[in-house]
Amino acid sequence: MYENFFGFKERPFQLVPNPAYLFLSKCHEEALAHLNYAVSQGDGFVEITGEVGTGKTTLCRAFLENLARDIEVAYIFNPKLNSVQLLKAINDELGVRSNANNTKTLIDNLNFFLMEKKAEGKKVILVIDEAQNLSKKVLEQLRLLSNLETTTKKLLQIILIGQPELSEILDSRELRQLAQRITLSYHLVPLTFKETREYIRHRIRIASRKSGIKFNRSAIRAVYKYSAGTPRLINIACDRAILTAYGLNQCKITGSIARVSIRELATRGDIKRRSFRERTKPILIFSALCLILLAAILSFDIRGLFKSEQSKKPVSSQSEPSDIKASVKPKADKKLPGEKETGEFESAETPVNPDEKLTDDSNIAVSEPPGETAQVLEEFLGRMDARSSRHMALKAAVEMWNHDPIINPYLDDMSDNSAFFRLGAKQNGLLIYHIEGDFELVKKLNLPAVLEMNSPAGASPGYLTLTKADDRTLTLRGGNEEEIVVEAESNDVELYWSGTAYVPWKNFFDYSGSIPRNAPEDSVITLKMILQEIGFKDIEVTPFYDEKSQEAVEEIQEKHGVNVDGVVGPLTKIILYNEMESLIIPHLIEN
């Protein structure tokens, strides 16, 4: 309805659990880390709980999307099933025979499958969402499934995701054996006010082609007051506020617009609650009168007791709290990039304040003259910190795609570098192409790339972003707390490069899968439209990957010096986008 007016690809606050919109608050990032750690260990049960609307299913689906290829998954959603039905559902998900109607045969078939996967070096996990709906009898059956094991390893790992009632069920005496097998447990909590502000901004960025919509601080505060930080309620309130603004022909969501929208949402609940209040009003009045009378009777004795107790306290103890408060200095809040004092979210066209730009540039250390660049690079790598340089390098790379990148600070706690770059890129609507040991391919892709650099002193590797290249020199950005720009000979950079590179890229038209292996017809049509735009005019736009299309793809692959196989995967998508002059793409070498 309002997508074109605000410049959205789609509505940013839909209620579907789309992993592309996953926002990693501190709590969600820790829960995801728990899941990843549990899978890496492969033992016991994992329990993830959270109130309704806190993002459990979205987190679960994002976790499943990023699992390694050597992991088989059975995903069961809303399992109001008995033991036999659940076993049938698990076997169906894993492609195991499930035509039997007794638990023994179903478990035997499952066990045979698990042993095969174990022999192939693969893991199998069972994820049950809305697990609070499982009966105690079914949960006990799950405990028995966890007994499927070899002498050294469990064959099946089970992850239970549900509302807080799940924890209460597991704490019951009948399920104490299952509770003892839960090795990791985590409870999701609502977002803070600051996280709510970042969450709103994050979803708008993901959904935007070039959005001009702004939520000011007053609007965000109204949304937070209504939602108490629950993501689903934030979505409902923001969607209604955007709809109201659309009706008023406004691009700015103010506090008054947000409050009017929220009032409309609350009206239905108020109507339902009103009749209940009317019925209970006499009871409440009578209870209140009883309490007042009781308080009056007791107040005389309590007041005397209170005074005698107060007289025994030392006078000095009353001054301690004020002394402590006086010694603490308030910490200034850091502003998000692109946020004014009013808390408005800026669009990409927002002019930069010259004074602010001067302040930012003062943090950039200019490199030494070209003759000394190798020494400058060596000295800088020697004092570079792995964690902070990783954040700065990703920020520098994303900045070349977006004017105002968002790198959630909670990602910095992740030890998995690949997951850090993948999730950080996803927050900004980008993907990551991971390169190992091929520096020529880094250059061929002609996109900003994060390079993992070895330390001359043998310390942990640091990270720099390759932002520009010519025949001889490469321009690198990065740093720890401050930013540095270094120009160095290509050979010098390769000397310290660890062999790992992370290249952010954008799937502009969202065509999925690898053509022709596992791609839908829409992806083939999109590919053919791209081929037409870059010069292959004789290609017919049909949903079939024909010989002409394959020959055109192979020609492009050969031109860019990559493997010529006619398959359109991530690498070929990148070089196809690079061929399109209509797209705005940051390149290392500008044509």
3-state SS, one letter per residue, for 61-79:
HHHHHCCCCCEEEEEEECC
Q: pLDDT at position 323, please?
A: 33
Residue 355 banded pLDDT, cuts 50, 70, 90:
very low
Mean pLDDT comparison of 60-69, 121-130, 246-255, 470-479, highest-scoring range: 121-130
Q: Please say if the pLDDT value at position 41 is more than 50.
A: yes
Q: Distance between terminal CA atoms of the chain?
A: 40
Question: For the residues 377-383, what does the mean pLDDT come to?
Answer: 76
Minimum mean pLDDT range among 68-82, 220-234, 283-297, 438-452: 283-297
Structure tokens at 270: 């108020």
Sequence ranges of the domains in the chain: 26-188, 191-294+337-347, 359-505, 507-591
Cα–Cα distance for residue pair 587/445, rounded to 1 Å: 9
Minimum mean pLDDT range among 1-15, 113-127, 439-453: 1-15
Q: pLDDT at position 298, please?
A: 54
522 vs 286 pLDDT, higher one: 522
191-294+337-347 CATH, one of 1.10.8.60, 3.40.47.10, 1.10.10.10, 3.40.50.720: 1.10.8.60
Element (H or E) spanning 123, and its range?
A: strand 123-129
User: Residue 118 is which amino acid?
Assistant: K
Residue 406 banded pLDDT, cuts 50, 70, 90:
confident
Domain 507-591 has CATH 1.10.101.10: yes
Question: For the residues 197-225, what does the mean pLDDT come to?
Answer: 87
Question: For the residues 496-500, what does the mean pLDDT come to?
Answer: 89
Q: Do the domains spanning 26-188 and 191-294+337-347 agree at the CATH topology level?
A: no
Residue 374 banded pLDDT, cuts 50, 70, 90:
low
Question: For the residues 49-55, what does the mean pLDDT come to?
Answer: 92
Q: pLDDT at position 414, please?
A: 79
Question: For the residues 74-86, what does the mean pLDDT come to?
Answer: 87
Residue 336 banded pLDDT, cuts 50, 70, 90:
very low
For 270, other C-beta atoms within 10 Å of its C-beta total 10
Cα–Cα distance for residue pair 562/441, rounded to 1 Å: 8
* Size of the chain, expressed as the number of residues it contains: 591
For 290, other C-beta atoms within 10 Å of its C-beta total 10
- CATH assignment of 26-188? 3.40.50.300
**For residues 527 and 512, is the Cβ–Cβ distance under 8 A?**
no
Residue 557 banded pLDDT, cuts 50, 70, 90:
very high
pLDDT digits (tens, 9 = 90+) for 150-200: 877 888 999 999 999 998 898 888 888 888 888 888 899 999 999 999 999
Q: Output DSSP code: residue 497.
A: E
365 vs 385 pLDDT, higher one: 385
359-505 CATH, one of 3.40.50.620, 3.50.50.60, 3.40.50.1820, 3.90.70.10: 3.90.70.10
Q: Please say if the pLDDT value at position 306 is more than 90.
A: no
What are the start-end ranges of the E strands in 174-287? 182-188, 214-215, 252-253
Q: pLDDT at position 229, please?
A: 93
Helical spans, DSSP H, in 479-520: 490-496
Q: pLDDT at position 225, please?
A: 92
